[in-house]
Amino acid sequence: MSPEQNSSIMDALRDIVGPRVSNSLAELCCYSCDASQVYGLPECVVRPLTREEVSRILKLAYEYEIPVTARGAGTGLAGGAVPVRGGVVLDMSGMNKILEIDVENLQVHVEPGVVVEQLNRALRPHGFFFPPNPGSSSVCTIGGLISNNGSGMRCVKYGTTKSYVLDLEVVLADGTVIRTGSKVLKSSAGYDLTRLMVGAEGTLGVITAARLRIAPMPKRRRLVMASFESAELAGMAVVKAFSAGIVPSACEILDSTTVKVLRRCDPNIVLPDGDILLFEVDGTDLSTSEDAKRVSEVCAGLAQSIRVASDQREMSEIWAARELVGAAISRLDPSKSRIYVGEDVGVPMKEIPNLMRKVQEISDSTGIPAMKYGHIGDGNLHVAWFIDVSSEEEWSRLRRAADMIHRAAIELGGTVSSEHGIGGARAGYMEMQWGPALEIMRAIKRALDPKGILNPGKLGL
């Protein structure tokens, strides 16, 4: 935009949202990144509070062909909310009202800026919860979660975000407002526009309200922690458990490197040595007792130790150890930072041991240390790579490692992202992962956003 155009656009935006627009460099910088390595400075930031404001802003942007990038809490790990082509950032975090809790119809109606944990706090007194629980639940917004089809460790039983979205109110590129679904729990009436918007990272429209299905809170959880001599044996135990018909509410792995790092960080940590599986089961007191027993039996011939945790304090301690992973390495070596690249690959469950071996080879050959953990029950491995960020040479090796892991995942029949999204960070792999299907995504993008103003530069479109 030219300075004159910029100034007249700023005036027009002020007409719509009053003082809730800014082009001060300090503010723009705050909106130029997320938790990934993708950067881009917007020309202005607008903070709409209503659907009508969003619609008017998009009408304006459509007329002047200005890029518009919607943003929730900015916790993304792939640059999805980063305005890589400049233009307007729509900060949706102010639209944060829970509009309706309708337990009798098993649903809630929320604005996109509602924080996931805020929703769960509101549901707790009703005995219900919203199952998708990404690591960032305490800060990330529903809008961002939907736009990335986020999930977290409970989706092995409960499914990802797309299983919980009944209806979206979406403002399209030209400002038109549509509803993609309804209040009914099931429907077979035309194209599933709701699911098309889930995971679209704001490239097809801006979500201004969402109707979400909720689930009854389980009465009881139990945790089986089993340690193995190798990741292969752990992988075998997972396959054996699933083949036996066990459906855990979480199924996580911490590889032995991760466990060693955690132990050096905190010698009193409650984890045994080896490659560790955490199987959580939920249900009633009786059913979880049965399920935990079955999990233990499945692990019995393969594990070197098995422990069943049933009381809240014990389970919290174990989960706290699991959550220490992100922070562990920097406590150990302050010169190293974890960089989020190649951190979210997914493969068919049975290929997890192969993927783990592959990651170790990549780590060895590039000399970049890696901790491997994640949602093994979904085939989703989070790899934590650590480098000295002041060394350009380490950055270069890290980029090579990330490229190798993305290619490995695709070769194993998998995906470059299971739950963090593509954004700008992984856009280069879309062709390789999708082949001719990418052209169809592009055709849909052109059909819904002919001027290409919605979050351009993302998803390899």
Q: Which of 99, 103, 300, 332 binds its own copies (CB under 8 A)?
A: 103
Q: What is the footprint of its own copies within residues 64-83 (CB under 8 A)?
A: none
DSSP 3-state of 183? coil
Alpha helix segments (H runs only) across 167-255: 193-197, 231-243
Phi-psi region of 413 (alpha: psi -120 to 50; beta: other; left: phi over 0): left
414 touches its own copies by CB under 8 A: yes
Q: What is the footprint of its own copies within residues 318-357 (CB under 8 A)?
A: 344, 346-350
Q: Which of 10, 98, 217, 315 binds its own copies (CB under 8 A)?
A: 217
Query: Which pair of structure tokens corresponds to residue 93?
Result: 């975090």
Q: Is the dihedral angle over the CA atoms 199, 204, 210, 212 positive or is it negative? A: negative
315 touches its own copies by CB under 8 A: no
Q: Which of 12, 247, 265, 270 binds its own copies (CB under 8 A)?
A: 247
| Segment interacting with its own copies, rule: CB under 8 A, options 45-53, 223-231, 244-252, 385-393 | 244-252
User: What is the C-alpha separation between 450 and 189, in angstroms, rounded?
Assistant: 26
Sheet holding 370-375, edge to edge: 305-309, 220-228, 275-283, 250-254, 370-375, 380-387, 337-339
407 touches its own copies by CB under 8 A: no
Q: Which of 243, 316, 391, 396 binds its own copies (CB under 8 A)?
A: 243
Nearer to its own copies, 216 or 367 (CB): 216
Q: Which of 37, 69, 366, 418 binds its own copies (CB under 8 A)?
A: 418
39 touches its own copies by CB under 8 A: no
Q: Which of 4, 19, 125, 186 binds its own copies (CB under 8 A)?
A: 186
Q: Which of 2, 26, 188, 268 binds its own copies (CB under 8 A)?
A: 188
User: What is the C-alpha separation between 342 and 174, in angstroms, rounded?
Assistant: 35
Longest dimension (CA), the chain: 73
Burial of 245 (0-12, 13-18, 19+ CB in 10 A): exposed
Identity at 139, one-letter amino acid code: V
Nearer to its own copies, 35 or 41 (CB): 35
242 touches its own copies by CB under 8 A: yes
Answer yes or no: are the C-beta atoms of 72 and 141 closer than 8 Å: yes
155 touches its own copies by CB under 8 A: yes
406 touches its own copies by CB under 8 A: no
| Segment interacting with its own copies, rule: CB under 8 A, options 66-74, 253-261, 325-333, 420-428 | 420-428
29 touches its own copies by CB under 8 A: no
| Segment interacting with its own copies, rule: CB under 8 A, options 33-41, 303-311, 321-329, 407-415 | 407-415
178 touches its own copies by CB under 8 A: yes
416 touches its own copies by CB under 8 A: yes
Answer yes or no: are the C-beta atoms of 116 and 130 closer than 8 Å: yes
149 touches its own copies by CB under 8 A: yes
| Segment interacting with its own copies, rule: CB under 8 A, options 28-36, 60-68, 180-188, 363-371 | 180-188
Burial of 346 (0-12, 13-18, 19+ CB in 10 A): buried
The alpha carbon torsion through 21, 24, 30, 36 (nearest 10 deg) reads 100
198 touches its own copies by CB under 8 A: yes
Q: Would you list the DSSP string of 264-289?
A: HH-TT-SPPSSEEEEEEEEE-HHHHH
Alpha helix segments (H runs only) across 130-230: 142-147, 155-158, 193-197
Q: Which of 93, 363, 380, 455 binds its own copies (CB under 8 A)?
A: 380
Q: How far is the CB of 27 from its own copies (least distance, A)?
A: 29
User: What is the C-alpha separation between 238 and 215, in angstroms, rounded?
Assistant: 25
125 touches its own copies by CB under 8 A: no
Q: How far is the CB of 188 from its own copies (least distance, A)?
A: 4
Q: Which of 1, 12, 106, 315 binds its own copies (CB under 8 A)?
A: 106
Q: Which of 38, 153, 210, 246 binds its own copies (CB under 8 A)?
A: 246
